[in-house]
């Protein structure tokens, strides 16, 4: 932060009311007293610099709470979530806020929807999912899981699809696939493309497309490919040649239909009658936009109860590069998708401020934003400090910062939790409120 800032520090405290068993409680008190996994909440603060109003440049302080708020010790999330996507958060994150800040039937919004974790979890909790993402893959991965078919429907459809003829045969992909497997993949791609072109791609076909996208590459026999990186990050053909050489491997024959049906069974294992009924009651009101999230006039003003999201982080993840094979399968030009990946904090803040202005518009009075930011550049950049001024400029009040950390020892180490690995070590969420 700039050293010439005013030394005046403004404190924000939140008294966030929700209803639980018809008794209003405070989110802040709930978090302070949280002890579900045998750890006490550490209370500290986050300081950020803000420029605005008559006060000019000044510093603000937001109370910060550190604990293990969700963990692998919790019950497993619904298997519908098990679609891989780079840098996605766990379903327990949106559940934590949806449970506490909304009621069934409320609308929950994610402006950077990714694989749809917030939307799927909200729908499973009986909330109306509203999403936006500039990447067209996002809606392809999300919407079919709001209307899951049965295993029997998928098996019947697969039995009717001929996988012996495709429109193309890209030989450069033979580093990933056995020749016969590649023929099957290309034939399935042709079938789905033709159905989409004729506007006959129904829910079962869309489901098969999602599962196929998730099985294109991976590290086990449950994928179409030879051993490669996990399915959320497709390497280049040149990189795969090096992997094959290093491991002395050649792509084995895989049966596409068998793998799709096996993954379908896994995804649907928790889809009982109650789950399907819950999804059915809210999914007809679901909305998904494929466009920049700083302008979403299609979403009504004052209509969203809660936003839970995680934005792109300072060029850390190259989504177009990671998803090039998925884009090929769907007929999307990955390089044409204008993904937001600013490299400088000031540029990132300008983009996020525009997004927050739109969030302020669509939130209902008294609504909330849970904005998950990461620990990037080996912990040297704390985006929670950078994002607080963005929300303030848009007219939202920062209520608190919540840090979910599964391993930390003392307060002095909270800000630089380090497990010796690159990437995000903690979930860091800034919670904002729109004035009632």
Residue 381 belongs to a domain: yes
pLDDT at 19 over 50: no
pLDDT in tens, 239-262: 999 999 999 999 999 999 999 999
pLDDT of residue 171: 97
* Burial degree of 155 (CB within 10 A; 0-12, 13-18, 19+): middle
pLDDT in tens, 403-412: 998 654 433 3
Residue 57 belongs to a domain: no
User: How many domains are there within the chain?
Assistant: 2
Same domain? For 400 and 296 the reply is: yes
When pLDDT is averaged across residues 184-207 and rounded to a whole number, the result is 96
Q: Which two tokens stand for residue 322?
A: 């990671």
Same domain? For 112 and 208 the reply is: no
CA dihedral angle for residue 173, residue 179, residue 180, residue 185, rounded to 10 degrees: 10
Same domain? For 276 and 342 the reply is: yes
H helix intervals, 13-150: 27-32, 92-101, 117-124, 136-142
pLDDT in tens, 55-77: 567 788 999 999 999 876 566 78
Same domain? For 202 and 306 the reply is: no
Residue 332 and residue 30: Cα distance in Å, rounded? 45
H or E segment and range at residue 351 = helix 345-362
DSSP 389-416: HHHHHTTPEEEEEEEE-SS--SGGGGGG
| Residue 356 banded pLDDT, cuts 50, 70, 90 | very high
When pLDDT is averaged across residues 136-150 and rounded to a whole number, the result is 96
pLDDT of residue 137: 93
pLDDT in tens, 152-169: 999 999 999 999 988 899
With H, G, I as helix, E, B as strand and everything else as coil, classify residue 53: helix
Same domain? For 199 and 82 the reply is: no
Same domain? For 306 and 408 the reply is: yes
| Residue 422 banded pLDDT, cuts 50, 70, 90 | very low
Residue 66 and residue 380: Cα distance in Å, rounded? 18
- To the question of pTM greater than 0.75 for the whole model, the response is yes
Residue 114 belongs to a domain: yes
Residue 283 and residue 344: Cα distance in Å, rounded? 38
Q: Which tops the pLDDT comparison, 349 or 377?
A: 349
DSSP 314-345: TT---HHHHTHHHHHHHT--GGGS-----SSH
pLDDT in tens, 278-321: 999 999 999 999 999 999 999 999 999 999 999 987 765 666 67
Same domain? For 251 and 369 the reply is: no
Residue 21 belongs to a domain: no
Residue 12 and residue 132: Cα distance in Å, rounded? 30
Q: Phi and psi at residue 75, in whole multiples of 5°? A: -60, 150
Question: Within 13 Å of residue 119, how many CA atoms lie on the same side as its CB?
Answer: 28
C-alpha dist (Å) from residue 27 to 97, 109, 307, 430: 9, 20, 16, 13
Q: Which two tokens stand for residue 299?
A: 């979403």
C-alpha dist (Å) from residue 147 to 80, 124, 161, 254, 410: 11, 11, 21, 28, 45
């Amino acid at each position: 932060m700039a050293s010439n800032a005013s030394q005046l520090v403004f404190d924000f405290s939140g008294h966030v009311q929700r209803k639980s068993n018809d008794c209003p409680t405070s989110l802040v008190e709930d978090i302070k007293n949280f002890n579900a996994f045998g750890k006490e909440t550490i209370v500290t603060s986050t300081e950020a610099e803000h420029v605005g109003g008559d006060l000019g440049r000044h510093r603000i302080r937001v109370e910060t709470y550190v604990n293990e708020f969700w963990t692998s010790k919790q019950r497993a999330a619904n298997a519908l979530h098990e679609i891989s996507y780079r840098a996605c958060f766990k379903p327990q994150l949106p559940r934590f806020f949806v449970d506490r800040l909304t009621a069934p039937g409320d609308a929950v919004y994610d402006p950077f929807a990714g694989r749809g974790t917030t939307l799927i979890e909200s729908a499973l909790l009986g909330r109306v999912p509203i999403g936006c993402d500039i990447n067209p893959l996002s809606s392809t991965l999300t919407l079919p899981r709001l209307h899951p078919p049965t295993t029997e429907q998928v098996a019947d459809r697969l039995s009717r699809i001929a996988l012996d003829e495709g429109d193309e045969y890209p030989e450069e992909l033979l580093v990933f696939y056995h020749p016969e497997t590649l023929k099957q993949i290309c034939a399935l791609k042709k079938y789905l493309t033709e159905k989409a072109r004729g506007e006959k791609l129904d829910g079962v076909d869309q489901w098969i497309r999602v599962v196929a996208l998730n099985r294109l590459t991976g590290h086990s026999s449950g994928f179409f490919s030879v051993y490669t990186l996990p399915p959320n990050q497709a390497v280049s053909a040149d990189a795969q040649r090096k992997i094959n050489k290093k491991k002395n491997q050649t792509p084995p024959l895989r049966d596409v239909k068998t793998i799709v049906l096996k993954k379908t069974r896994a995804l649907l294992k928790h889809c009982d009658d109650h789950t399907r009924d819950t999804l059915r009651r809210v999914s007809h009101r679901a909305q998904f936009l494929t466009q920049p999230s700083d302008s979403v006039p299609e979403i009504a003003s004052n209509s969203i109860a809660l936003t839970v999201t995680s934005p792109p982080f300072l060029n850390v993840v190259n989504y177009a590069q990671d998803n090039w094979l998925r884009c090929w399968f769907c007929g999307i030009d990955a390089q044409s998708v204008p993904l937001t990946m600013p490299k400088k904090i000031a540029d990132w803040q300008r983009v996020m401020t525009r997004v927050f202005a739109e969030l302020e518009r669509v939130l209902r009075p008294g609504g909330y934003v849970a904005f998950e930011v990461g620990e990037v550049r080996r912990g040297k950049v704390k985006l929670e400090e950078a994002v607080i001024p963005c929300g303030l400029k848009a007219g939202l009040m920062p209520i608190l910062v919540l840090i979910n950390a599964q391993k930390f020892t003392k307060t002095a180490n909270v800000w630089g939790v380090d497990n010796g690995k690159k990437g995000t070590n903690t979930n860091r969420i800034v919670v904002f409120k729109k004035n009632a």
